[in-house]
Amino acid sequence: MTTLREILTVRDVALELRCSVAHVYNVINGKVKNVSRLPSIPMGRRKLIQRDSLEEWKKTNEQADTDVMIAPSKIDAVRRMEEDSYAYGFVNLVWLLLVI
């Protein structure tokens, strides 16, 4: 059974892959050359991605020396900053980015 923590938004995927939200939508829609389609769950206009599907997709599309893996600690730091931005507002987010 899938839990809520295993479901990602397009924005979550974009943060993890270090690309734009628009690029993730292009991958989901099969519009990126030499990259297989990223499976998603349609929710109206929204798309959700299962963690397992993302991990399998990354393995399938991995290329030897050209890929750079992102350390989970950095991803967690970005998520914490994003959560903090909702709590503290945009001005503090800019300040956090300047400090880091």
Domain extent listing, the chain: 1-64, 70-100
User: Distance between CA 6 and CA 30 in Å, rounded?
Assistant: 23
Which residue from 20, 24, 23, 16 is spatially nearest to 71, judged by alpha carbons? Answer: 16
User: Distance between CA 61 and CA 57 in Å, rounded?
Assistant: 6
pTM for the predicted model, two decimal places: 0.59
- The answer to whether 54 and 2 have CB atoms below 8 angstroms apart is no
Digitized pLDDT (tens) for each residue of the chain, 100 residues in all: 555 568 999 999 999 999 999 999 999 999 999 999 999 999 999 999 999 999 999 999 987 554 455 566 666 776 676 666 555 555 555 555 666 6
